[in-house]
Amino acid sequence: MLIHRKKIQVEWGDCDPGGIVYFPRYFEYCDICTNALFVHAGLPKPKMLRTYKIAGIPIVDVHGRFMIPSEYPDTLEVASSISEWGRSSFTVQHKIYKGKNLAAEVIEKRVWVTRIPGTRSRFKGEPIPGKVKSRFK
């Protein structure tokens, strides 16, 4: 299983008035890390969209668990991997570490989509090519 690790520097603006990372920022960190995982697998987004004629890989479900707070100026390490493949969907697991401690875990369910012809904002799931899945083994 391909795992990509990315360091994230917590910035002052990431924090709420209590001085800890505001929870939606973790979801933004993970979106950045999903992109980095695909780049690591040799599938940067522009190439992926062009090669496979898809509209994207939007999130359709996301869950987060927060165990310990992070604050400015912590450096976090996010370990990202694809934990499950479906026909047209996949699950990305992000484990966010503060030092050696698991600070948070985010699970994203994403769908491999194409645009419905004649529409701007309607999409449909398409089968994920085996060539794509094999890059994450």
Average per-residue pLDDT for the chain: 97
The helix (H) or strand (E) run that includes residue 9 is: strand 3-9
d(CA 93, CA 114): 23
The pTM score is 0.95
Percent of all residues in the chain with a pLDDT value above 70, rounded to a whole number? 100
d(CA 67, CA 98): 10
Could you list the residue range(s) of the whole structural domain that residue 27 is in? 3-134
CATH, residue 94: 3.10.129.10
Q: In this structure, which amino acid lies at residue 115?
A: R
Q: How many domains does the chain have?
A: 1
pLDDT of residue 20: 97
The catalytic site residues sit at: 16
Q: Could you give the count of Cα atoms lying within 13 Å of 52 in the half-sphere of its Cβ?
A: 23
Looking at the predicted structure, is the pLDDT value of residue 120 above 90? no
pLDDT band at residue 112 using 50, 70 and 90 as cut-offs: very high
pLDDT of residue 135: 97
